[in-house]
Structure 1
Amino acid sequence: MAAIERRRIGYWLIMAFAALLTLAALALIGGGAYLIVLGGSWYYALAGLALLATAVLLFRRSRLAVWVYLALFAATVAWALWESGFNGWAQVPRIFTPFVLLLLVLACLPGLRREPRVDRRMAGMAAAGFAILVGAGLLLNGGDRGSLVAQEPTPGVPVEQPAVGADPAPAAAAITFAMPDTGVDWPAYGGNIHATRYSPLDQITPQNVGQLQKVWEFRTGDLPQDGEPFGNQNTPVKVGDRLFVCSALNKISALDAATGAEFWTYEPGVSSDNVGYNASCRGLVYFDNPAAERTALCATRTVNLTHDARMIALDTETGQLCADFGNGGVVNLLEGIGDTAPGFYAPTSPPTLVR
C-alpha cells in the first residue's frame, strides 16, 4: 500500500513538472519565433520545441523524455560555447537553468516506463534530428556573426594604412576649470573633481571633536509620511560664503555657511510617487563657467538630478533656472528610453562634471 502511495506521489510530481516544462516551452517557442523574425538566434525556438517534446513524453511517462532532454542539453552546451567561448561567467545564464532542469528530468527516471523496442531507435533519431536542427539554425544565424582574426603582415609587402577622412575632427583645446580648491571650500561631492575626499583643514581633531556645539540648523520641510522610505544622505557643496544642499525630494537650497540663513530655495515639485526605493539626494554639482562674464546669469551654477528623472541647472546667486541648459534649464532624462512608470528611473547620486 505504501509503495502504491509513493508511486501516486511520484506520478503527480512528474505530471506537475511536465506541466511547468510545457509552459516554459511555449514561452521559448513564442519568444524564439519573434527573435527569428527580428533576425536573431534560432536556438530559443528550437530549444522550445525540444522542451515541448520532453514535456509530452513526460506526460506519457516515457523514458524517451530523458534522451530528448539530454540531446537538448548537449546542443545547449554546444550553442553556449559557440556564443561565448570559455568565458565562465558568460556561460552561467546560458547553462545554469538547463542544468537544473537536467537534474530534475533525471530525477523523474524511477517513475518513467521503459520502452526497449522504441527507446534506442527513437532516442538516436531524436538526438540526431535535434542536432541537425540546431546546426542549421546556427548556420542560418551565422551570417551576421563576424569574427576577428589576427593576420601577420606578408614580408616585403607594405602595410596599407587606413585612409584619413575628408574632414578630420579638429584637435580639442584643453579647458581649465575655475574650480575652487578643497579646504576653505568643499566644491564637489568628493571634495574636488578628482574625488579625493580629503580636506587639509586641521581645526577639528579626534581630541576636540567631542566638544563641538551646534551653531545653526536648517529644515528643508521634507519629512516622510506614513512610513515612506526617506533618507538623509546629502553631502553639501560649499563655495565661498554659500552652502548648497539638496533635500530628500530634491529641493535645492543656498544657505549662508556661517549663519544658516537661507538665500534661496528651488522647489522642483517632485512627488513621492516617483521615489524608487529611498527618497534621498546624495549631492549636486557646482560649475564655474570660465567663459562667462562674472555678472552674467548662471556664470556659476549648480546641477542636480531628481527622482522623476530630470537634470536641473540653477544660478548660484538667484536660484533661477539656467535658460541655456537643456529646455529652459531642465533636461528630461526619460526622453528616448520608451515607456516608464513612476520610480522606474529615480537617480539619487549627483551628476558627474565632465569638461
Structure 2
Amino acid sequence: MKLLSKERPLWLRIGSLVLGLLLIATALFFIIGGVRLVSLGGSAYFLISGIFMLASGVLILRLRSSGAALYLLTMLGTLIWAVTDAGLNFWPLISRLMFPGSLAILAFFLLPSLRHYENRPSAWKWVYVPGALAIAAFIAAFAGMFVPHYPVEFSGQERPLVPVAKNEMQKNWENYGNTPGGSRFVALDQINRNNISELKPAWTFHTGDTPLSPDGNGAEDQQTPLQVGDKVFLCTPHNNVIAVDADSGKPIWKAEINAKSSVWMRCRGLAYFDATQPVPQPTVPGSIPPAPVAAVDAAGCQRRILMNTIDGRLIALNADNGQFCQDFGNKGTVNLLEGMGHAPDPQYVLTSAPTLAGTTVVVGGRISDNVSTDMPGGVIRGYDVVTGQLRWAFDPGNNNPNAVLAAGEHYVRSTPNSWAPMSYDPSMNTVFMPMGSSSVDIWGANRTPLDHKYGASILAVDATTGKEKWVYQTVHNDLWDFDIPMQPGLINFKISDGTEKPAVVVGTKAGRFMCWIA
C-alpha cells in the first residue's frame, strides 16, 4: 500500500514527534525501574508496559498509526491493572492513570490522521466517543483533586466523646507539642466537636511585630504559645517575648530582643523550666538520669523561658518579669555561633523551639538550602538549663560526634542538621531528633559516609551525655529535600502479644508514616 508521507501536515509531524519522545522517555524510565522492581520481587507491570511504550514511541516517531493503536491497547491494560491494583480509590488511581491517560488523549486524536495518510480509513467514528470520554474523565479527575476523597473524608463510626476526670484535667501547656513527647492533644473536655462552632473570641492581642512575607521568605508568625498558670507566653518573628494574662489578654511583660535576619524570620516556640519542681526521672532500666543543676534562689530565675533566635543566640528570661536570667551564659545569653566557623546571615538560623530534656536545653538549627557545598555544620548541642554551660555536642560529621572542640576549631561543615522540633521521653531520658540532609540538599556527589548515615533520619541520643542510642534513615541519599519536617510523636504502641512498648511515630515528606520501637 502506498504511503503518502510527503503530504503529512506540519501539525501532525510535530504532534507525533512530541508523543513519540514522551513515550520513549517514559518507557526507558519504566523499563529501568521495572527491571529493578522485578528483581526485588515486585510487580512486572512497569517492565511490560515499558516495553510496549517503547515500541509505540518508535512507531509513532516513524508516523505509523500502529504506534498510536498499540499505545491505546497499552493504556487499556494500564487501566485494568490500576483498578485491580488500587481498587476504586481516587488518589491511588490518579497516581497510576493521570499521566498515561493524558498521553492516551494525544494518541486518540493522532490515530485517525495517521491512518488517513496511510491511505486507510481514518476511523474517526471509532475515536469520537472514546476520545471524548477520555477528555471528560481527565477533566473530572483534575476537578476531583479539589474535593475530599478517601482517606481524607470521614468514614466509619464516630467515636464517643470521652469525659476527663476532674483530677486528670490538664492545667498547663508547657511544651511546644503540649507534652515533651509531642502529644498535641490537651486533656480537657469542656470544648468538643459539638460546641466548637459556638466559640467566640474572648480577647485579641497585638504583638506590634507585624509579619511581612510577600515571597514566603520573610517574617511569618508561626508560633505555638506556651501557657503556664495565668500566663500565656508568646514570641514574635523577631524573637520578642511577651507574657499576657490568660483570662484578659492584657500584657504582663515584654522582652524586646528584636533579632534580625535577612530572610526566614520566625519563632515557632519557646521552652519552659521551673526549678522549684522535681525533675522527672527515667523509669526504663539502664537509663542515665538527668544531670543535677545548681540551686536557684528565690531572687533568681526559678521559672524561666528559653528561646533560640534567628541570629544565633540562646536566651533565658525570667518567666515572672521578663528580665534576662543573669546566671545563664553571659548575663542571660549563650552565643550559638561559637564553633560554627564562617556562618554569615542567613546561613545558620534557629526557628524551632528549643527542647527541654530534663535539665538540658537541646538546640539544633536550620542551614540554608541549596546555597553552597561549604556551609555551617548541623551540630546539635545540649546546654545546662541553669548555667547555660555546654554539656555536649553531637557533630554528625565527626567520627567521634561528641568530640570536644579545641580552641580555634569548628564543627564539621555542611553536615545534616536538625531544624524541626525535637521530642523528649523522660522515662528513658532520650531526645528524638528529626534530621535534614547535608548541604547542598539536592546534590549528593560530595557526601561522606556519615552524611549518608544521618541525612533524612530519626536520631535518638541520651539527653545527659549526647551519646547516640540509635539512628534510622527514612530516605537513602536524599536528593529531593525529603528531610524530616515535623516533631516526632511518642506513643505507647500495642504489639501482637497485647503488650505496649514505647514507640516513635513520624510523618515524612515522602508521604509515609513510620513507627519505631523506641
TM-score under structure 1 length normalisation:
0.60
1:120-269 equivalence runs, <5 A? 182=172, 187-190=174-177, 195=184, 196=186, 201=230, 204=245, 209=250, 212=251, 215-218=254-257, 223-225=260-262, 229-240=263-274, 241-248=303-310, 251-257=313-319, 258=321, 259-261=323-325, 263-264=328-329, 265=334, 267=336
Residue by residue over 1:200-259, the C-alpha shift from the partner in whole angstroms, topping out at 9 and shown as x without a partner, is 5277379774xx586543366xx435xxx3222232223332111022366433233331
Are the aligned partners of 1:285 and 1:302 in contact in 2 as well (CA < 8 Å)?
Answer: yes
Q: Distance in 1 between matches of 2:13 and 2:228?
A: 70
Q: Percent identity?
A: 22
Q: Distance in 1 between matches of 2:38 and 2:89?
A: 25
- Structure 2 residue 352 is matched with structure 1 residue 282: yes
SS for the counterpart of 1:238 is: strand
Are the aligned partners of 2:115 and 2:122 in contact in 1 as well (CA < 8 Å)?
Answer: no
Q: Distance in 1 between matches of 2:11 and 2:90?
A: 38
Q: 2:304 is matched by which residue type in structure 1?
A: R
Are the aligned partners of 1:235 and 1:245 in contact in 2 as well (CA < 8 Å)?
Answer: yes
Residue 142 of structure 1 corresponds to none
Q: Distance in 1 between matches of 2:101 and 2:8?
A: 26
SS for the counterpart of 1:321 is: strand
Quote the offset at 1:69 in angstroms.
Answer: 1.4
Q: Distance in 2 between matches of 1:15 and 1:317?
A: 70
User: What RMSD, in angstroms, separates the aligned Cα atoms of the two structures?
Assistant: 4.3
Are the aligned partners of 2:75 and 2:100 in contact in 1 as well (CA < 8 Å)?
Answer: yes
Residue 94 of structure 1 corresponds to 96
Of the three residues 300, 303, 326, the one matched with 2:362 is 303
Are the aligned partners of 2:349 and 2:365 in contact in 1 as well (CA < 8 Å)?
Answer: no
Are the aligned partners of 1:243 and 1:255 in contact in 2 as well (CA < 8 Å)?
Answer: yes
Residue by residue over 1:260-307, the C-alpha shift from the partner in whole angstroms, topping out at 9 and shown as x without a partner, is 24512262756869989x94523133244xxxxxxxxxxx22334433
Q: Distance in 2 between matches of 1:48 and 1:334?
A: 37
Are the aligned partners of 2:361 and 2:384 in contact in 1 as well (CA < 8 Å)?
Answer: yes
In the alignment, structure 1 segments of 5+ residues that lack a partner are 121-179, 289-299
Q: 1:248 is matched by which residue type in structure 2?
A: I
Structure with bigger RCO (C-alpha 8 Å, 6+ apart): 1
Q: Distance in 1 between matches of 2:258 and 2:171?
A: 28
SS for the counterpart of 1:243 is: strand
Residue 75 of structure 1 corresponds to 77
SS for the counterpart of 2:265 is: coil
SS for the counterpart of 1:314 is: strand
SS for the counterpart of 2:245 is: coil
**Gap change, CA 1:301 and 1:351, over 3 Å in 2:** farther
Paired residues, what number?
270
Q: 1:61 is matched by which residue type in structure 2?
A: L
Residue 108 of structure 1 corresponds to 110
* Larger relative helix fraction: 1
Quote the offset at 1:72 in angstroms.
Answer: 0.6
Q: 2:324 is matched by which residue type in structure 1?
A: G
Q: Distance in 2 between matches of 1:219 and 1:333?
A: 38
**Gap change, CA 1:283 and 1:350, over 3 Å in 2:** farther
Moved more, 96-105 or 13-22: 13-22
SS for the counterpart of 2:366 is: coil
SS for the counterpart of 2:79 is: helix
Q: 1:21 is matched by which residue type in structure 2?
A: L
Q: Distance in 1 between matches of 2:21 and 2:58?
A: 9
Q: Distance in 2 between matches of 1:246 and 1:93?
A: 41
Residue 59 of structure 1 corresponds to 61
**Gap change, CA 1:304 and 1:8, over 3 Å in 2:** same
Moved more, 338-347 or 85-94: 338-347
In the alignment, structure 2 segments of 5+ residues that lack a partner are 1-5, 124-169, 187-225, 232-243, 275-302, 368-377, 393-401, 403-428, 431-460, 492-501, 503-518
Residue 20 of structure 1 corresponds to 22
Moved more, 320-329 or 14-23: 320-329
